[in-house]
Structure 1
Amino acid sequence: MTSAPPPSSSTSGLRVDAERNRQRIVAAAREAFGEHGIDVPLEDVARRAGVGVGTLYRRYPTRADLITAAFETKMTAYADAARQALADPDPWHGFCGYVERICAMQAGDRGFTTVLTMTFPTAKQFEADRDRAFADFATLVERAKSAGKLRPDFVTEDLPVFLMANAGVLAATTDAAPDTWRRLVGYLLQACAAPTAQPLPDPPAPRQLYRAMLRATRHQRDRS
């Protein structure tokens, strides 16, 4: 049985160039999305990366493909934050610290602000990290409730609602009053405390919230 011939130097060079272009595109997308949000024209991303727009589209055929590539590392950090919050011996402190940390991640990156309120069903690893974060957050919620610190009617679906609210505040105030989001988060966490809890309207059903996030995703794609 004859072995396959080794790749030619020209083939290896093309692979190196392709990987270099990929890294440039992802880095440029992170920068552009972080500064201007995920609606930034992809032609601008290609220009920043120093590649043709055709090269960008060959590697990332849709905006969603590029978004998930650009925010893959940050989504992993998002999932890791929940695991770290679980390690806090004080469940209430861990809960509050996690909500503050995730909202701070939103505030530090205009693109991630939107991505956290969207869903990407075809990006398996991306959504797996989100699912891991959600599962750990659910455990964190139950621990804080068991400790008598978190209001008993808090549900995990409230976190995406918090993130959508924070995204709206950030969009309205980032340029003029960039720390306003901190006040919102302070209000939200005080409202979560069990000793001050008052009855709330019923939360949205998980299916309703998922549909809302899908609608936001489609809205972003339609604008691309």
Structure 2
Amino acid sequence: MPEKPARNVRKDVVRNREVLVAAARAELSEHGLALSLEQVARRAGVGIATLYRHFPKRAELVDAVLVEAVEQHAELSEAALRESDPWTGFATFLERTAELESTNRGLNDLLSVQLEGMPACRAVKLRHYRDIRTIIARAQEDGSLRADLRAEDLVFITWGNAGILEASALADEPGIWRRHLAFMLDGLRARAATPAPLPPMSPAEMQRVMERLGRKRTGRA
């Protein structure tokens, strides 16, 4: 049997990568970081060996697929910093984040964990975290946001939102999460603040917890 011309081989390689990324995007959106690589290959219509030729490690596939969604999330923080009213910027950022997470379970998972081998997503998240700290500081300096909130506390909000969003998707009104977000935002206002019973996690401890969660979510705990 004659060999395929090099140009056709390159087209096949490009096509296979494209269908794998599209299939993984759908699987991540539906199943989060617990996605099955075998199901990704089946959905793409290729063999598992083809998947591993393009993405030898699970993290490489997730990185290639989710970096676009992470960029979208980073754009939300940039928009919040452009908002003239600091509280509106803070509140809108949390609302838009929940909207984005509600459509993509993979992003929902990724925002609350730390995974190795994902340089593209990690670079965006590092830049993004700096913006989040500024969003918080602006609203605190304005006197609208409780003074003891830290960026690490927002990770807990993300963890809580994950369960709320999952339950909301099964409800008669999938947007019911907005009701609970409104309650939470009222509780974060400076005028509603009462002393927190414990100090926040340190950045180092939060990093360790997110790494452990990442291993657990991907079956490597």
Give the structure-1-normalised TM-score: 0.90
Residues 32 and 106 of structure 2 are in contact (CA less than 8 Å); yes or no, is this contact kept in structure 1?
Answer: yes
Distance 2:202 2:34 in 1: 29
Corresponding position of 2:97: 102
Distance 1:181 1:65 in 2: 32
Residues 37 and 111 of structure 1 are in contact (CA less than 8 Å); yes or no, is this contact kept in structure 2?
Answer: yes
Change (3 A) 1:120 1:223: closer
1:204 equivalent in alignment to 2:201: yes
Alpha-carbon distance, 1:145 to partner: 0.9
1:91 equivalent in alignment to 2:103: no
The alignment-based identity, stated in percent, is 37
> What are the superposed Cα offsets for residues 5-52 of structure 1, whole Å, 9 maximum, x if unpaired?
xxxx82232222111111110111111121233323211111111111
Corresponding position of 1:217: 214
Residues 115 and 215 of structure 2 are in contact (CA less than 8 Å); yes or no, is this contact kept in structure 1?
Answer: no
Alpha-carbon distance, 1:68 to partner: 1.4
| Structure 2 unaligned blocks of 5 or more | none
1:81 equivalent in alignment to 2:53: no
Moved over 6 A (4+): none
**Aligned match for 1:176, one of 171, 174, 184:** 171
Distance 2:31 2:115 in 1: 20
Give the structure-2-normalised TM-score: 0.91
1:34 equivalent in alignment to 2:10: no
Distance 1:78 1:93 in 2: 17
Residues 25 and 56 of structure 1 are in contact (CA less than 8 Å); yes or no, is this contact kept in structure 2?
Answer: yes
Letter in 2 for 1:163: T
Q: Bigger CA drift: 31-40 or 86-95? A: 31-40
Distance 1:176 1:217 in 2: 28
1:156 equivalent in alignment to 2:151: yes
2:77 is paired with a residue of what secondary structure?
A: helix
> What are the superposed Cα offsets for residues 106-135 of structure 1, whole Å, 9 maximum, x if unpaired?
111122211111213332221111111111
Count of matched residue pairs: 216
| Structure 1 unaligned blocks of 5 or more | 1-8
Residues 166 and 184 of structure 1 are in contact (CA less than 8 Å); yes or no, is this contact kept in structure 2?
Answer: no
Alignment of 1:43-82 (within 5 A): 43-82=38-77
Corresponding position of 1:114: 109
Alpha-carbon distance, 1:103 to partner: 1.4
Distance 1:59 1:118 in 2: 24
Letter in 2 for 1:192: L
